């Protein structure tokens, strides 16, 4: 891949952002063996590491590994080479988002929808409003009746009201700063 006139591999790009050297991985597979979410992934964590090592850029960026990841930290924790695999997974996701690469597998299509709603929720409120999070998710993912049976009990047990909207707008400012910086 040519960026700014210089050829740059995916491994190098990850190293620049995180200082993690993916060539330390010797493919033992412990990360994937311990991953409770790997059954959701077309490319389990150790295979994603291999794709990066081989610079199979498109294949890595269009995998659904990072949409299936629940960030439970088991992979990084158990890596005998002490590679922060979760950070690598997240960095690949960031690059995929920046380059607008679409996932080649559609089974986790609601996860990016959820993430976007989550971000908008905290940008608007400075904190999470769980009711709005659920309601907006149902609207955007066209699952209008999801969890609707939980609503009466959530209401009755006062689990829907949230902290008062904060007066500060720090998160909004940061996100705007990042946008100006060629960020998200």
Partner 1 sequence: MEYSYYPGCSLKSSSKDYAESVKQVSDKLGITLIELSNWACCGASVSHIPEESLSLALPALTIAEADKYSRDIVASCAACFNRLKSTHLLLGKYPEKKIETEKLIGKNLSVKINVKHFLEVLFEEVKDWDSIIIKKLKGLKVACYYGCLLTRPNDMIKDGKSEDPRMMDNLMEKLGAASIDWPFKTECCGTSFGLSKPEVVLKLSGRILRSAKKSGAECIVVACPLCHSNLDLRQSQIEKYNNLKFDLPVFYFPELAALALGIDYRNLLLDKHIVDPMPLLRRKDLI
Binding residues for partner 1, rule: CB under 8 A, are: 17-19, 36-37, 40, 66, 69-74, 76-77, 86-87, 90-91, 93-94, 97-98, 108, 110-111, 113-115, 118-119, 122, 125-131, 133-134, 137, 141, 146-147, 150, 153-154, 157-163, 166, 168, 170-171, 173-175, 177-178, 183-184
The closest alpha carbon to 45, from 66, 14, 23, 15, belongs to: 66
Least Cβ distance, residue 1 to partner 1 (angstroms): 19
Contact 62, 104 (CB under 8 A): yes
Output the six-digit token pair for 1.
């891949």
Comparing CB distances to partner 1, the nearer of 7 and 106 is 106
Comparing CB distances to partner 1, the nearer of 1 and 71 is 71
Least Cβ distance, residue 169 to partner 1 (angstroms): 10
**Alpha carbons 16 and 63: distance in angstroms, whole number:** 21
Least Cβ distance, residue 114 to partner 1 (angstroms): 4
Phi and psi angles of residue 70, each rounded to the nearest 5 degrees, phi first: -100, 5
Q: Could you tell me which residues come within 8 angstroms of residue 91 by beta carbon, excluding any fewer than 6 positions away?
A: 14, 17, 18
Comparing CB distances to partner 1, the nearer of 54 and 176 is 176
Least Cβ distance, residue 183 to partner 1 (angstroms): 6
Q: Helix 130-140 vs helix 110-125: angle between axes, to the nearest 10 degrees?
A: 140
Comparing CB distances to partner 1, the nearer of 7 and 143 is 143
Least Cβ distance, residue 175 to partner 1 (angstroms): 7
Q: What is the DSSP letter of 23?
A: G
Comparing CB distances to partner 1, the nearer of 7 and 19 is 19
State the number of CA atoms in the 13 A half-sphere of 50 facing the CB.
Answer: 11
């Amino acid at each position: 891949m040519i960026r700014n006139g210089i050829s740059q591999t995916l491994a190098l790009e990850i190293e620049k952002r995180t200082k993690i050297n993916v060539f330390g991985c010797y493919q033992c597979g412990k990360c994937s063996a311990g991953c409770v979410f790997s059954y959701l992934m077309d490319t389990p964590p150790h295979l994603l590491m291999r794709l990066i090592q081989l610079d199979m850029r498109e294949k890595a960026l269009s995998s659904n590994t990072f949409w299936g990841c629940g960030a439970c930290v088991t992979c990084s924790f158990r890596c005998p080479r002490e590679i922060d695999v979760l950070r690598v997974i997240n960095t690949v996701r960031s690059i995929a988002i920046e380059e607008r690469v679409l996932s080649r597998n559609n089974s986790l299509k609601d996860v990016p929808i959820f993430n976007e709603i989550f971000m908008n929720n905290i940008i608007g409120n400075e904190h999470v409003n769980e009711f709005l999070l659920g309601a907006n998710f149902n609207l955007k993912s066209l699952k209008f009746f999801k969890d609707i049976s939980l609503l009466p009990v959530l209401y009755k047990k006062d689990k829907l009201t949230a902290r008062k909207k904060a007066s500060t707008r720090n998160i909004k400012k940061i996100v705007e700063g990042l946008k100006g910086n060629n960020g998200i």
